[in-house]
Structure 1
Amino acid sequence: MVNELEFLEGIIKSRMKNSTELELYSKIEVYEEILEEIEEIKASRINLNTSWIWSKR
C-alpha cells in the first residue's frame, strides 16, 4: 500500500511541476489536500505496523 501511495505522490508532484502557472493555481489546493491525506495514511500505516511489531514481543 505504501508503494502505491508513494507512486501516486510522485505523479501528483510531477504534474504540479509540469503545470502552467494558471493551471497550477487551480490545481494546487486539491493536490495539497491529496498529499496531506497520503501522508496521514502513510503515518497511520507506520503506526499500525509498529503497534503490531510491539504486540508480538
Structure 2
Amino acid sequence: MKTTRSKTIDVRVRVKPNLHEKLKACADKEERSMNYLTNKAIEFFLEHKGAKA
C-alpha cells in the first residue's frame, strides 16, 4: 500500500549547538530523521499549548 505525502513547507531555524547535538543523537538512537523529530516536537507543543488555552 502506497502512502501519500502531504505537501511541506521549508522552514529554516537556528538552534544552539548543544541542542543540535542532542537532537542528532536522539535521531540516530531512534533511527528517525531530525526533521521527523522536529515535526513531532512542534505537534506536541501545539497540542499541549492548545489544551491550556
TM-score, length-normalised on structure 2?
0.43
> Which is bigger in relative contact order (C-alpha 8 A, separation at least 6)?
1
- Rg larger in 1 or in 2? 1
Q: Which has the higher helix share?
A: 1
